[in-house]
Amino acid sequence: MTEEFGAGGSRPAHQPNHIPGPHPAGPHPAGPHHTGPDPTQPFAGGPVSAATAQLAPPRPARSSRAGLLAGAVVLALVSGGVGGAVGVIATREDSRPPVTNALDAPRPDVSTVANAPAGSTQAVAQKVLPSVVMIEVASNRAEGEGSGVVLSSDGLILTNNHVASGGGSNATIVVRFSDGTSAPARIVGADPVSDLAVIKVEGRTDLTPIEMGSSADLQVGEPVIAIGSPLGLAGTVTTGIVSALNRPVSTSGQGTDNPNAPQPVIDAIQTDAAINPGNSGGALVDYDGRLIGINTAIATLGSGGLGGQQSGSIGLGFAIPVDQARRVARELIDTGRATYAQIGIKLRPQDSVALVLEATPGGPAAEAGIPAGAVITKLDDRVIDSGEALIAAVRSRQPGDKVKVTYTDDTGNNPTTVEVTLTAATVDGAR
């Protein structure tokens, strides 16, 4: 698996701004307010002083009565208004429509299976799910789960080498199908260089083979669907797009006793469809339900969970292009092992340039005149910017392909283009 590390951080949750309540109003100083009897009228309590007469103008007694009457009228009007409102409310409550409840409605007679629009995620899932399986591998050394795709009705299944060979040579393999049935399986052939394997279940002739597509004309941004068994959750469907093409990705090598076996480097399709441990070997399909890749690896931000298990999807998943997987699967079925293309040079995969340390005598590069110390910058029209990029580009081709290789000297000058015929190689000790 590829690993990417970065520093994460947390950000405090946003706190709502404090909104102060209204300030209490202080005592409002009132102006002069005078009450008392009319100074122009006789008052039983005694004579009225001149000061009082100036502050309180005369008010006839009749006006006072009229004010009381007017107040009474206003009170009556207000009371009448309240009474009217109460009457309106009572009337509206009486005319409220009856209560309806969604739980009381009859269950509709519809079929979401029949109504799945052509080209929808739902329709693709219905088509592809019967062709994707969960694979369980167990031994006294290790146990784990992965995914696979059905190649033939009689039980041939394509998966990753690190899934099929992960338990060692004496592991038992059980395949679980979408209908809930299961069957034991055996390895037909496995290739650690391409990280692909073919297994076969016994006693089944009714399986649904997946429809093969092509990875040659994929475009960045094209919608895709990943189907597999992440974390043992069989039949999981996730969606995304093709995020990038021709990503050189190193994976862990398994299934060979040769310590000098080449490190698996795949020329991967990158996708942001959610891929997690257990998706390995599962299907990456287009929206016609055709296989375009075998999900193989994910990038992570580091370890997480108990026991240092890798963390989950961060939107960086990688799949082996189906054109390469198809060729390797055919060779594994026919011969039990697969070949891969080689150019015949030694280099350091981790270098940021494809520096030729040595051109193998008699090999394709040496025959084409590529010297030690050269820096390969292009393979056909593909830019080569690292050692791994050259490995991935070469292995994406077939043995016997003719390619144009552009290289410079170690100073980056004197670009030269030559034609190279790639040759075939196999891994000793591979199953």
Q: Encode pLDDT of 176-233 as tens digits.
A: 999 999 999 999 999 999 999 999 999 999 999 999 999 999 999 999 999 999 999 9
**To the nearest whole percent, how much of the chain has pLDDT over 90?**
62
Assign 112 a pLDDT band (cuts: 50, 70, 90).
Answer: low
Q: Cβ(333)–Cβ(207) under 8 Å?
A: no
pTM, two decimals, is: 0.73
**Of residues 131, 147, 191, 195, which has the active-site annotation?**
195
**Of residues 131, 147, 162, 194, which has the active-site annotation?**
162
The lowest-confidence range among 19-23, 364-368, 417-421 is 19-23
The reply to whether 162 belongs to the active site is yes
Checking if the pLDDT of 11 tops 80, the result is no
The reply to whether 280 belongs to the active site is yes
**Of residues 280, 313, 386, 396, which has the active-site annotation?**
280
Q: What is the pLDDT of residue 301?
A: 79
Checking if the pLDDT of 66 tops 50, the result is no
Q: What is the pLDDT of residue 280?
A: 96
The reply to whether 10 belongs to the active site is no
Q: What is the pLDDT of residue 109?
A: 77
The lowest-confidence range among 18-27, 132-141, 339-348 is 18-27
Q: Encode pLDDT of 368-424 as tens digits.
A: 999 999 999 999 999 999 999 999 999 999 999 999 999 999 888 999 999 999 999
Assign 141 a pLDDT band (cuts: 50, 70, 90).
Answer: confident
Within 8 A by CB and 6+ apart from 326, the residues are 212
Q: Encode pLDDT of 36-65 as tens digits.
A: 444 444 434 444 343 333 333 444 444 444
Checking if the pLDDT of 104 tops 50, the result is yes
Q: What is the pLDDT of residue 44?
A: 41
Who has greater pLDDT, 43 or 94?
94
Assign 2 a pLDDT band (cuts: 50, 70, 90).
Answer: very low
Rounded distance between C-alpha atoms, residue 366 and residue 368, angstroms: 5
